[in-house]
Chains A and B, each alone.
Chain A
């Protein structure tokens, strides 16, 4: 087990290093200048600006500086947003993104599990079909379409919930629903399969035979074992949340990391783009690692041999 964790950890470091280098060199290839007033500047002024940000150095030196800075947790200085250090910029904005992400994954998986269990218990009834239908819709309809439609009908037409901004709990409801659609869909389908599988096994028959009520059979005996594999979908779900946060935060004007990222892309702010990419990758890689280890810890049947995946 310890060997496996160490091995995975080393892979994680390699992955992060590759991502960091890739991001750096790709950023250098991007056409355009990071200075918004570049056209008006004289060559001397441009030179001073470049020196100021260390852009006059050879690429290799810049790269070394960048990697050393990364190890210290320094992501560079933003070119466009008031020369704030990127780390600070991201830290200021991380709270809404995290709140949104956690709410979406929390409510999403819970609703998904409930839907999945219900449709497994009532297999091939209208309840099952409608929950499958919800899952197909949730999986298929792009979340920004869903967010836009919701914003228009619930926010503007009915006026039930605030349309934009981030000022209190009621402002989080619509973005959370929009983000949670995908987790709901995925967990519901996964849960249904697992539950049907588990309900057919011998120990469930035994529990029924000794006279346990159907509620007890489903939730006390069945759910526990069916829940274990659901952990594996947490990885893909995190990715979907990151992708989703970009558009959802933009649509609902939430001051989070995703919105910052989209803004940085449109104004060519290299250091913010690099910083956000690294942050996303870091979170992704760490979550995948945690999920894999957790899975092995919870279910002793899974043998963590030689990283065969």
Chain B
């Protein structure tokens, strides 16, 4: 750094007064685990922005169907395949929200004028004249619902299994470990597809299929942590006081595992959203009239050449949701467990 000699005059220094009592003064309020994590996550701009965007998307998903003025399944063959048209944004020439469509031969037509429609369809309409905006909003709701439910089930199964295996140890543990080893050797794609073939495709069967394959990672992580924690003095103390095993597991061990559990769950959510969309795309997802983002993309894909907007809007939303969840999950991992930072 600075190599030149710096002259600092002596009068700039003053003797420090030693006061032993001041050494113990706490300068700032002490923070508990969650406050500390919140401080760290606030510094992570990507995660913070993602949280805000995600919040907006969730608000849109729930408020959207109310303000659009159309139902999810309101069909009207007089207004099929309309392109997007949004008031105010329609006059911005470079945005695709002016209700016009470019034909394959290059001519531009105002479909709204052609079909004599005064209403605005923000994201356009599909081949049955249903409002795409309402359907996308509803689709986000269903995709999120499946993802959260799958993550929750995953968490319950994984944590219980892992905690029992880790806590009791011994032969029970090694038996349970073998089961996990075999299960995680099976590609989850295969299990999910088989499960959905057996049960009829629907919200519940997709969720269950995702949960059945997803819990092994959680179980492993929780088991490893429980193995470590159960040797701690407070567990011994609790046992000496005569507490039951289940009380020790749920009251003493689980709160200490909250960090890892949350991190793992956060990574399950984008995974579940992807899998649901994937299943819908290969034709194993929800069936009409229900719409998830996956089925909307699948429908839109079939007419991609003629009406690209039918695929683009749901595709944009699923991408936004996936990016946000991944960023939030990364942020939460860094905040809750700085050692796991990658």
Contacts and interface: CB of A to CB of B under 8 A. Distances in A.
Interface stretch (B60-68, B163-171, B191-199): B191-199
B278 interface: yes
B315 interface: yes
Given A140-B323, A149-B315, A26 B194 contact: yes
Interface string B176-211: 000001100111111101110110100000000000
Contacts of A142: 274, 277-278, 318-319, 322
A34 interface: no
Interface stretch (B111-119, B148-156, B236-244, B279-287): B279-287
B190 A151 contact: no
B304 A265 contact: no
A288 interface: yes
A265 B274 CA distance: 20
A144 B297 contact: yes
A239 B189 contact: yes
A281 B282 contact: no
Given A156-B305, A247-B282, A265-B193, A140 B319 contact: yes
Contacts of B198: 26, 29-30
A11 B182 contact: yes
Contacts of A277: 190, 193-194
Interface stretch (A14-22, A106-114, A198-206): A14-22
B305 A140 contact: no
B197 A273 contact: yes
Given A142-B277, A149-B315, A265-B283, A284 B187 contact: yes
A246 B274 CA distance: 14
A140 B46 CA distance: 14
Given A15-B186, A247-B282, A139 B326 contact: yes
B270 interface: yes
Contacts of A239: 187-189
B194 A11 contact: no
B327 interface: yes
Contact of B284 (A11, A12, A148, A265): A265
Nearest to B284: A265
A142 B200 CA distance: 24
Contacts of A190: 342
A152 interface: yes
B272 to A, nearest CB: 12
A142 B319 CA distance: 7
Interface residues of B, number: 39
Interface string B294-307: 00010001001100
Contacts of B182: 11, 14-15, 18
B41 to A, nearest CB: 17
A281 B281 contact: no
Contacts of A173: none
A280 interface: yes
A148 B305 contact: no
A266 B284 CA distance: 9
A18 B186 contact: yes
Contacts of B315: 145, 148-149
Contacts of B200: 31
Which of A144, A190, A277 is most buried by chain B, counting CB atoms within 10 A of its CB? A144
Interface residues of A, number: 46
A141 B185 contact: no
B270 A12 contact: no
Interface string B221-265: 000000000000000000000000000000000000000000000
Contacts, number: 115
A242 B189 CA distance: 8
A247 B187 contact: no
Contact of A247 (B190, B193, B270, B278): B278
Nearest to A243: B189
Contact of A145 (B188, B195, B319, B326): B319
A170 B188 CA distance: 32
B282 A152 contact: no
Given A242-B187, A243-B189, A251-B301, A189 B194 contact: no
Interface string B86-99: 00000000000000
Given A145-B297, A246-B282, A277-B194, A136 B304 contact: no
Contact of A281 (B187, B278, B322): B187
B197 A144 contact: no
Nearest to A289: B185
A281 B213 CA distance: 14
B308 interface: yes
B197 A148 contact: no
Contacts of B57: none
A31 B325 CA distance: 37
A266 B270 contact: no
B109 to A, nearest CB: 18
Contacts of A228: none
B157 interface: no
Interface of A: 11-12, 14-15, 18-19, 22-23, 26-27, 29-31, 136-137, 139-142, 144-145, 148-149, 151-152, 156, 189-190, 193, 239, 242-243, 246-247, 250-251, 262, 265-266, 273, 277, 280-281, 284-285, 288
23 contacts: A11-B181, A12-B185, A15-B186, A23-B190, A27-B197, A30-B197, A137-B319, A140-B323, A142-B277, A145-B319, A148-B297, A148-B311, A151-B304, A239-B187, A239-B188, A251-B301, A265-B283, A265-B284, A277-B190, A280-B189, A280-B190, A284-B186, A284-B187
Given A140-B319, A281-B186, 13 more contacts: A11-B185, A15-B186, A18-B182, A19-B185, A26-B197, A139-B326, A142-B274, A142-B322, A144-B281, A149-B315, A190-B342, A239-B189, A277-B190
Q: What 8 pairs across the A-B complex have the smallest Cβ distances?
A: A15-B185, A140-B322, A140-B323, A145-B315, A193-B342, A284-B187, A26-B194, A141-B319
